[in-house]
A = this chain, B = another copy of it.
Amino acid sequence: MTGPIKAPPVLPDGGLRVVALGGIGEVGRNMTVFEYGGRLLIVDCGVLFPEDQQPGVDLILPDFRAIEDRLDEVDAIVLTHGHEDHIGAVPFLLRMRPELPVVGSRFTLALLAAKCREHRLNPNLIEVTEGEHGRYGEFECEFFAVNHSIPDALAVAIRTPAGLVLHTGDIKLDQLPLDGRLTDLAGFSRLGDEGVDLFLVDSTNAEVPGFVMPERDIGPVLDTVIGAATQRVIVACFASHVHRVQQVFDVAQAHGRKVALVGRSMVRNMGIATDLGLLNVPEGLLVDIDEALALPDNGAVFVSTGSQGEPLSALSRMARGEHKSISIRPGDTVVLASSLIPGNETAVFGVVNGLSRLGASVVHQGNAKVHVSGHAPAGELLFLYNAVRPSNVMPVHGEWRHLRANGELAVRTGVPRERVVIAEDGVVVDLVDGLASIVGRVEVGHVYVDGLSVGDVGESTLSDRLILGEGGFIAITVAIDSNTGRAVAPPTISGRGFSDDPKALDRVVSLVEMELSHIESEGITDTHRIAQAVRRVVGRWVAATYRRRPMIVPTVIPV
């Protein structure tokens, strides 16, 4: 299905090439590159958040290598919506070509602009809206309203002489959206009439049967929870989920409570949403944290970040009793109006336990309907396939299990199985004469951001971190006479992350000394060989004595 790295052939005249540099085979860092007539169009450029096996990493970027020598050939980047996994890597791309046109809806570009300011970049933004057409070099684009967990999301149709491509972006089909902005299924049907040659479809929830409850049905649940609360209420949700926050605002207003926003990104994003008319803030509703704290206990709702258990977030600090101004008290109510992203369970439940322990009642999606997903599950995806009736399908945005499930749905609606292309990151798909097929594969690796630098932390460093994180290290330092190989001082042996027992390594000192005498007697003065011998003797001792595998770090200094 995917196979080894294999340079793709030259793209035939009149053909369209599609390569994902991120986002297929994983959830995050979405970035798809389209090529026609020697020119490139990029759809989305997001970041991926690291997992346990990538310790110390802040962000993971798409791998730009396949296009970094061709940035002059890029006609535009089109952004489908403003989530981090779709826009977060744009500044890293713009560093390489700052004037690259970036196309997106108003809210998406406002979020990008805020991000670019942090990176001291001044992007070349082209605002579009649903129903609009735009031509970017070789690519004729048309934009469609789609419903997602952030306002102002778009799908994009891309027309070239090779055919018509439709990319959903992230999508769902809420039939009662809070802002009345429906996913443009009629528009998709019209494209279907015209004939969609390749359909790239969000796979995130393809394994989930059925339909998503409307976002607006969360309002009454929040109303019940906040209405029943006699003390402070804290609601945590994603800082870009404007409609969720809107519902909290409306319910707070109905119950005579003021609202304070907690967390830098929450304050920033809701400011942008208000400015753009996407968030309706009743006069006098918003107060700052100190004002809210001065209100009677039943007078305030705090809307906070930290719904994923991020250790430095406001909510995590509250759960540990370490927040600088908000102390949780018995009888307070905390609502996690958010998803639980796989991998974050331990952190999120840690926060829930901390809050419970302080006496708060914690409402979350496990015990109340306070969250709905932003991605179409199987039932909604079937609507999409039936509207679009595509000739070829390429599931995007998901791990393998999601891609496979999405492909099966396409097949069930009548797409021939051989026209469903499961192509993870780096797989090169050509659309030629109406047929999409895999023609090769380019290398797409993980590009890690750790602190200020990009790319210097790679698999070798991570592998060392995993070993150090599991077992710590034992360092042995030996100073030798460079002429004789004789140790000029006793070996220094110390461990970190190995044992709490200060005497744990005492017994190995004599073993090292014996080994050093032996080495000296053989006339060995090569520091590398001495280091190897020391590593071997200590490694064996630790394995036999403790059955552990710390990193063994010998240093031999010739003096």
Residues of chain A touching chain B, judged by Cβ–Cβ distance below 8 Å, are 1-2, 25, 51-52, 55-56, 207-209, 342-343, 345-346, 349, 352-354, 356-357, 359, 361-362, 366-367, 399-401, 403-405, 450-453, 456-462, 464-473, 475, 477, 479, 488-489, 492, 494, 496-501, 504, 545-548, 551, 553, 555, 557-559
Additional A-B contact list (20), CB under 8 Å, known A55-B470, A466-B469, A477-B555: A56-B469, A56-B470, A56-B472, A56-B548, A345-B345, A349-B401, A352-B399, A356-B400, A356-B404, A456-B501, A458-B500, A459-B500, A461-B472, A465-B471, A467-B497, A468-B468, A473-B473, A479-B559, A488-B559, A496-B551
A479 — which chain B residues lie within 8 A by C-beta?
A: 479, 489, 557, 559
Closest B residue to A366 by CB, please name it: B207
Query: How many angstroms between the C-alpha atoms of A362 and B467 in the bound complex?
Result: 31
Are B465 and A401 in touch, CB under 8 angstroms? Answer: no
Cβ of A527 to closest chain B Cβ, rounded Å: 10
Known A-B contacts A367-B207, A559-B479; the reply to A464 vs B404 at CB < 8 A is no
Pull 12 A–B residue pairs with CB atoms less than 8 Å apart, ordered by A. Answer: A1-B359, A342-B346, A343-B345, A352-B401, A451-B547, A461-B497, A461-B500, A464-B472, A475-B555, A477-B557, A492-B557, A557-B557
Interface of A, secondary structure class, is mixed
Closest B residue to A378 by CB, please name it: B367
Which 3 pairs show the lowest CB-CB distances between chains A and B? A469-B469, A451-B547, A468-B468
Known A-B contacts A450-B548, A555-B555; the reply to A51 vs B475 at CB < 8 A is no
Known A-B contacts A492-B555, A492-B557, A553-B475; the reply to A500 vs B460 at CB < 8 A is yes
Are A451 and B548 in touch, CB under 8 angstroms? Answer: yes
A401 — which chain B residues lie within 8 A by C-beta?
A: 349, 352-353, 356, 362
Are B346 and A52 in touch, CB under 8 angstroms? Answer: yes
Cβ of A56 to closest chain B Cβ, rounded Å: 4
A557 — which chain B residues lie within 8 A by C-beta?
A: 477, 479, 489, 492, 557
Closest B residue to A343 by CB, please name it: B346
Closest B residue to A342 by CB, please name it: B345
A497 — which chain B residues lie within 8 A by C-beta?
A: 56, 461-462, 464-465, 467-468
Query: How many angstroms between the C-alpha atoms of A471 and B546 in the bound complex?
Result: 25
Query: How many angstroms between the C-alpha atoms of A399 and B342 in the bound complex?
Result: 19
Are B470 and A465 in touch, CB under 8 angstroms? Answer: yes
Are B456 and A473 in touch, CB under 8 angstroms? Answer: no
A501 — which chain B residues lie within 8 A by C-beta?
A: 456
A553 — which chain B residues lie within 8 A by C-beta?
A: 475, 496
Cβ of A307 to closest chain B Cβ, rounded Å: 16
A403 — which chain B residues lie within 8 A by C-beta?
A: 356
Are B209 and A367 in touch, CB under 8 angstroms? Answer: yes
CB contact between A342 and one of B349, B548, B558 (< 8 Å): that residue: B349
Closest B residue to A471 by CB, please name it: B56
Known A-B contacts A400-B356, A488-B559; the reply to A465 vs B461 at CB < 8 A is no
A452 — which chain B residues lie within 8 A by C-beta?
A: 545-547
CB contact between A400 and one of B353, B400, B404 (< 8 Å): that residue: B353
A209 — which chain B residues lie within 8 A by C-beta?
A: 367
A558 — which chain B residues lie within 8 A by C-beta?
A: 489
Known A-B contacts A461-B498, A555-B477, A557-B489; the reply to A51 vs B504 at CB < 8 A is no
Closest B residue to A463 by CB, please name it: B497
Query: How many angstroms between the C-alpha atoms of A413 and B366 in the bound complex?
Result: 22
A453 — which chain B residues lie within 8 A by C-beta?
A: 499, 546
A464 — which chain B residues lie within 8 A by C-beta?
A: 472, 496-497
Closest B residue to A487 by CB, please name it: B559
A359 — which chain B residues lie within 8 A by C-beta?
A: 1
Query: How many angstroms between the C-alpha atoms of A8 and B345 in the bound complex?
Result: 36
Name, among A457, A462, A475, the residue most crowded by chain B CB atoms within 10 Å (CB to CB): A457
Query: How many angstroms between the C-alpha atoms of A209 and B499 in the bound complex?
Result: 44
Are A451 and B546 in touch, CB under 8 angstroms? Answer: yes
Cβ of A168 to closest chain B Cβ, rounded Å: 21
CB contact between A469 and one of B456, B468, B488 (< 8 Å): that residue: B468
Cβ of A55 to closest chain B Cβ, rounded Å: 5
Cβ of A335 to closest chain B Cβ, rounded Å: 14
A399 — which chain B residues lie within 8 A by C-beta?
A: 349, 352-353, 356
A457 — which chain B residues lie within 8 A by C-beta?
A: 499-500
Cβ of A405 to closest chain B Cβ, rounded Å: 8
A546 — which chain B residues lie within 8 A by C-beta?
A: 450-453
Are B472 and A475 in touch, CB under 8 angstroms? Answer: no
A367 — which chain B residues lie within 8 A by C-beta?
A: 207-209, 405
Query: How many angstroms between the C-alpha atoms of A450 and B466 in the bound complex?
Result: 16
Closest B residue to A556 by CB, please name it: B492
